[in-house]
Each structure stands twice: as C-alpha cells, then as structure tokens.
C-alpha cells in the first residue's frame, strides 16, 4: 500500500557519485573526516567507477587532487592534458563510454596554491573576468578528455555564458553545463577541503552566496538559466531545502542538489557511534532532497544507496 501511494521516488538513476582522484599515491587514501570515502588512484578510481555504474547510479562527478608542488597561482595543472583530473577523465571515458554521465568539477580551487576558486588580483581578491577566461580553458580541456558535463562551481558572474561560448567555439557544443548556480558560503564544506588538500587561507564569502539570502540565490539561478545552463544546482542540499524547492518551482531545466561533505560526515559519524541507523538515516536524507524537488542528487552514498534501493 505504501509503495502504491508513494508520492516521492528515489531511484539509483537520480544519484550522482562524487569521486576524488589523487596524483602521487600508490593506493587509495582514506579521508579521515569522511568515513568510507577515499582519494583514489587512477586504477582504483576505474574499479570503483565501474562498480558504481553497474549498481545503476545516474552519473559520476570527478574531482582531481594534484600534488601540492604542482599547484600555482592560476591552477594551470588543471588545464594540462597530463594533469591528474584530465588523465583520469580519459580513463573513465574510455572505460565507460555512454554507460553513465561523466561529469567534472570545473573550478580552480583544487589546482591553485592559494586554494581560492579563481585567479587573484594584486590586492588578493578574486578577479572575476580573468577567472572566467581560465574556466573556459579548463572546460575545454575536460571536454576534450571525454566528459559529458562540465560543472562550473566557482560562482563567478558570467561563468556559464563564457563557458558555453568557449565550448561552442571549440566544436564541443554537445557538452552540457551543470551550473553551481546557488552555492552558499557554508560551514559544511570542511571535510571536502581535507579531501582535496586545500591550501585555502581566509574564506570565499566575496563570491559565494550569503546563507540568509534566498531571493539572491533565485536571482543567481535565473541568470545561469538565461546564460545557457543545462542543469542548475543548489549546494549544500540539506541545509537549503527551501532553496531547492524554490528552484524547482521556477526552473525550466533539471535541478540538482549536492549533499556535501559535512552533511555526509555528520550522519556517518553518528552512525559510527551507534547513535543513528546509518542506512535508514542516509536514505531518509536523500528522500528529503528529492521531496524538496531535486531531480538529481549528488551524494557520497550514491553507490551504497543504489544497492540498498535495488
């Protein structure tokens, strides 16, 4: 009876698995603040990706973690064909073809020595336009490596329009754009910064959304849609379900929501201590994001949840 009258569905195809691939490691490296999540080697990434796809996940979102000594002020290692992210994307594109949707994080924070999402000017502030120029190069490099979707996450003004124009000019018009359209300056990103060995000093409040501003978030979403975003995303998810709902009500394109590292870590830690049923709590949290209106959910539980839902 419950299944017959259920109003919200959660299926493996709704889920995208974020994955980290690191340069200079010989075996997967656990991320202490994200129990069960690792920095992968190229080989272990290929195996884990194949398992996730076999479980039925809708897509994979890949983050690159270069060696610290390869990072610089402009994030140039992210553009290099031999950079860890681009070689890993080629591996997965060759292995998986169109069996899943291959996505890449299109941002500079993993690749810069200062840890910010863009290029800094002489005063130490992010230069919006110079950053967009670099984003275009990054997106083209990822598209040439084989991704189906590039995912600008830096919250620069005009980033979607710049990337769309750049991809089209490079003959890559079939590559889609998932825009981090409402990315909030959140405390829930802490474990992620361990995962990518971030060198960030300070914060990103000059370019990420203010926690209290819902109308501003919807304005940013509308701008990205106007610029040509194929999917818009709200990040974090659980702490911003009202924004997910409001986005779903106005968006003509699919809405994604990212259950971020801190949201994952809280439940994983509580489960490890026996305070909650980990599986039941994880699934309930994913249902809440779907119920709010997200068409796509990025979650570190994607592969596990796909098995639980089978």
Q: Catalytic residues, which ones?
A: 183, 235
Task: Dig out the tokens for 16 from the structure.
Answer: 């995208």
Cα of 189 vs its chain's centroid, Å: 12
Residue 18 in contact with residue 300, Cβ under 8 Å? yes
- Asked whether the beta carbons of 240 and 268 are under 8 A apart, the reply is no
Beta bridge partners of 257: 234, 297
CA 265 to chain centre: 16
- Taking phi first (over 0 means left), then psi (-120 to 50 degrees means alpha), and beta for anything else, what does residue 122 get? alpha
236 preceded by a cis bond (ω within 30 of 0)? yes
**Planar angle of CA 138, 142, 144, nearest 5 degrees:** 115
Of 105, 207, 208, 88, nearest in space to 151 by CA:
105
Please answer whether residues 134 and 74 qualify as being in contact, where contact means their C-beta atoms are separated by less than 8 angstroms.
yes
Q: What is the DSSP letter of 109?
A: T
Q: Are 256 and 234 in contact (CB under 8 A)?
A: yes
């Amino acid at each position: 009876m419950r299944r017959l009258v259920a109003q919200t569905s959660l299926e493996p195809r709704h889920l995208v698995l974020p994955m980290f691939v690191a340069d200079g490691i010989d075996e997967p490296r656990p991320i202490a603040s994200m129990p069960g999540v690792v920095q992968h080697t190229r080989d272990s990434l290929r195996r884990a990706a194949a398992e996730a796809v076999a479980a039925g996940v809708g897509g994979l979102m890949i983050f690159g973690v270069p060696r610290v000594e390869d990072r610089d002020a402009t994030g140039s290692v992210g553009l290099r064909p031999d950079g860890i992210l681009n070689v890993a994307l080629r591996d997965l594109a060759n292995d998986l073809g169109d069996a899943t949707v291959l996505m890449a994080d299109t941002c500079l924070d993993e690749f810069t020595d200062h840890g910010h999402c863009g290029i800094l000017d002489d005063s130490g502030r992010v230069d919006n336009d110079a950053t967009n120029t670099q984003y275009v190069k990054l997106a083209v490099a990822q598209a040439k490596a084989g991704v189906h979707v590039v995912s600008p996450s830096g919250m620069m003004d005009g980033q979607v329009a710049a990337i769309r124009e750049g991809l089209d000019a490079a003959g890559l018009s079939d590559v889609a754009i998932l825009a981090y359209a409402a990315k909030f300056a959140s405390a829930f990103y802490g474990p992620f910064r361990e995962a990518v060995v971030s060198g960030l000093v300070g914060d990103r409040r000059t370019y990420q959304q203010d926690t209290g501003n819902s109308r501003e978030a919807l304005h940013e979403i509308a701008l990205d849609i106007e610029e040509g975003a194929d999917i818009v995303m709200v990040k974090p998810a659980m702490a911003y379900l009202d924004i997910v709902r409001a986005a779903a009500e106005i968006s003509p394109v699919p809405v994604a929501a990212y259950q971020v590292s801190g949201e994952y870590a809280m439940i994983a830690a509580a489960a490890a201590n026996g305070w909650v049923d980990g599986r039941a709590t994880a699934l309930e949290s994913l249902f809440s994001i779907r119920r709010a209106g997200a068409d796509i959910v990025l979650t570190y539980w994607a592969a596990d949840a796909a098995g639980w839902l089978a």
